[in-house]
Amino acid sequence: MEAESMRLLASALAIGLGAIGPAIAIGILAGKAMESIGRNPEAAPKIQTAMILAIAFAEAIAIYALVVALIIKFV
């Protein structure tokens, strides 16, 4: 019983802590992109493309954390 509860706690910590970094990164990315578009509206398409690509990479880190949490929970 104790091993199962430790595994659940480790799983929760893995996804919880693993989601904090990408969430902060996405917030900063979006904020800076909006600031850049506000300063230079002509560059909006280039900025938006770069922002979406960077957000996808940040989101991939959260998916890795989810995979690790699932592995901890079920293996």
Report the pLDDT value the prediction gives residue 75, as an integer from 0 to 100: 87
Residue 17: per-residue pLDDT: 94
The DSSP letter of residue 16 is H
Average of per-residue pLDDT across 55-69: 95
Q: Tens digit of pLDDT for each residue in 3-46?
A: 899 999 999 999 999 999 999 999 999 999 999 999 999 999 99
DSSP 32-75: HHHHHHHH-GGGHHHHHHHHHHHHHHHHHHHHHHHHHHHHHHH-
Q: What is the CATH number of the domain that holds 32?
A: 1.20.20.10
pLDDT of res. 1:
73
Q: Cα–chain-centroid distance for residue 38?
A: 25
- Domain residue limits at 32: 2-74
User: What's this model's pTM, rounded to 2 decimal places?
Assistant: 0.82
Location of structure tokens 């398409």: 45
Structural domains counted in the chain: 1
